[in-house]
């Protein structure tokens, strides 16, 4: 009887568990514009690429909440380029100012994946910069060997720093961008999102690193051909191959590059790419012995300039942009 009663009882309705559909994620593609940061000619490509992009990711080492807020308000049209420039020490008419004009009122979201101001690696970057300054000071005092030792350490340490920095940027692009998209009203309903990154040309390693992970990414340079100075060439070489050691002659030529650019060429042109190309062409004419003698000459006479030393060796340094263009074959 008991068994029959149990059989007669109606079966309890059990609801089938609901299977939640995974959120559809938009397809994100990245495009990197490599340039020199401060060359007006770089702006031409940036302007067009920015218009096509859905999100902008600038290289901005040491950014803080104030800077991020200013750029966001600039994009939303709540601050003018003039206001933002005055608060970020940017000159009107400069490349960065023109970038501000393009961002202004675009309503495009801006994501920051570079090192923030309070990051522990910023201190390492400052220490590396000091090594570079010490190397230049020793060279001008006639101490080539100690200068090269300092520059050798600078290149190795800075390559290590840039690789660590790029790893943080890569993680930000892969993880933070996804969260950013979900939280951003302008982006969350899009099927495809184009992200534009602007980076200094030293960071080509980041592009190759991301491409290995089958991320949809493309790149272009603000101009072609793109020439790296001798120090940057050594630094990039170590970033791609940690077993590589800096070459003494290249480091010595790199010191000449810096002195030429800072104390001569920067007063002739504001075009950084052109300045690098010219200094590279001039310093490439010198071997290690030449550079050692130049260092000693500078050490003996503090009034002497790098231009004096080069012209004494019948190496012409252009005094006008026209002479510079002629030397570069433009």
Q: Mean per-residue pLDDT for 48-64?
A: 95
**For the chain, what percent of residues have pLDDT higher than 90?**
69
Lowest-pLDDT range of 23-37, 93-107, 136-150, 269-283: 23-37
Question: Residue 30, SS3?
Answer: strand
Q: Mean per-residue pLDDT for 122-133?
A: 96
For position 93, what pLDDT does the model report?
A: 81
* Gap between the terminal Cα atoms of the chain: 106
Confidence of residue 167 (pLDDT cuts 50, 70, 90): very high
> Dihedrals φ, ψ of 225, to 5°?
-75, 155
- Please say if the pLDDT value at position 14 is more than 60: no
Which residue matches tokens 């010219």? Answer: 278
CB 192 within 8 A of CB 26: yes
- Please say if the pLDDT value at position 157 is more than 60: yes
- Please say if the pLDDT value at position 38 is more than 80: no
Distance CA 89, CA 84 (A): 9
Distance CA 261, CA 255 (A): 10
77: left (phi over 0), alpha (psi -120 to 50) or beta: left
For position 148, what pLDDT does the model report?
A: 98
For position 5, what pLDDT does the model report?
A: 43
Rounded to the nearest 10 degrees, what angle do helices 204-211 and 144-171 cross at?
40
- Please say if the pLDDT value at position 247 is more than 90: yes
* Chain centroid, CA 14 distance in Å: 59
Lowest-pLDDT range of 26-35, 126-135, 144-153, 253-262: 26-35
CB 84 within 8 A of CB 100: yes
The structure tokens listed for 212 are 């290995």
Lowest-pLDDT range of 19-23, 69-73, 174-178: 19-23
Lowest-pLDDT range of 83-87, 249-253, 271-275, 278-282: 271-275
Q: Could you tell me the pTM of the whole model?
A: 0.87
- Please say if the pLDDT value at position 193 is more than 50: yes
Q: Which helix (H) or strand (E) holds 200?
A: strand 192-200
**For the chain, what percent of residues have pLDDT higher than 70?**
91
Distance CA 156, CA 209 (A): 20
- Please say if the pLDDT value at position 233 is more than 70: yes
Task: Report the candidate in 330, 324, 326 with the shortest Cα–Cα distance to residue 260.
Answer: 324
The structure tokens listed for 128 are 């590396």
Q: Mean per-residue pLDDT for 280-292?
A: 97
Question: Residue 33, SS3?
Answer: strand
Lowest-pLDDT range of 10-19, 198-207, 217-226, 314-323: 10-19
Distance CA 330, CA 327 (A): 8
- Please say if the pLDDT value at position 226 is more than 70: yes
Mean residue pLDDT of the chain comes to 89
């Amino acid at each position: 009887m008991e068994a029959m009663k149990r059989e007669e009882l109606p079966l309890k309705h059990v609801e089938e568990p609901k299977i939640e559909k995974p959120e559809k994620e938009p397809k994100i593609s990245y495009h990197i514009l490599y340039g020199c940061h401060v060359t007006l000619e770089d702006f031409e490509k940036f302007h067009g690429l920015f218009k096509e992009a859905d999100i902008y990711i600038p290289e901005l080492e040491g950014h803080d909440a104030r800077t991020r807020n200013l750029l966001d308000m600039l994009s939303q049209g709540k601050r003018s380029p003039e206001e933002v420039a005055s608060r970020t020490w940017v000159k009107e008419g400069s490349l960065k100012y023109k970038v501000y004009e393009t961002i202004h009122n675009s309503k495009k979201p801006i994501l920051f994946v570079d090192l923030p101001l309070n990051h522990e690696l910023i201190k390492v970057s400052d220490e590396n910069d000091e090594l570079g300054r010490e190397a230049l000071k020793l060279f001008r005092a006639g101490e080539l060997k100690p200068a090269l030792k300092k520059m050798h350490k600078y290149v190795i340490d800075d390559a290590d720093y840039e690789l660590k920095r790029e790893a943080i940027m890569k993680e930000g692009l892969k993880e933070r961008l996804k969260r950013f998209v979900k939280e951003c009203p302008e982006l969350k309903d899009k099927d495809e999102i184009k992200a534009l990154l602007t980076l200094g040309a030293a960071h080509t390693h980041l592009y190759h690193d991301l491409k290995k992970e089958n991320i949809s990414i493309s790149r272009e340079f603000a101009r072609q051909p793109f020439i790296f100075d001798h120090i940057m060439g050594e630094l990039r070489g170590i970033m791609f191959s940690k077993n590589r050691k800096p070459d003494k002659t290249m480091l010595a030529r790199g010191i000449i590059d810096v002195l030429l650019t800072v104390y001569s060429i920067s007063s002739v042109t504001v075009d950084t790419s052109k300045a690098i190309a010219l200094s590279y062409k001039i310093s490439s004419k010198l071997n290690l012995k030449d550079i050692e003698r130049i260092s000693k000459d500078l050490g003996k006479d503090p009034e002497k300039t790098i231009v004096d030393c080069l012209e004494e060796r019948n190496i012409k340094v252009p005094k006008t942009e026209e002479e510079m263009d002629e030397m570069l074959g433009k």
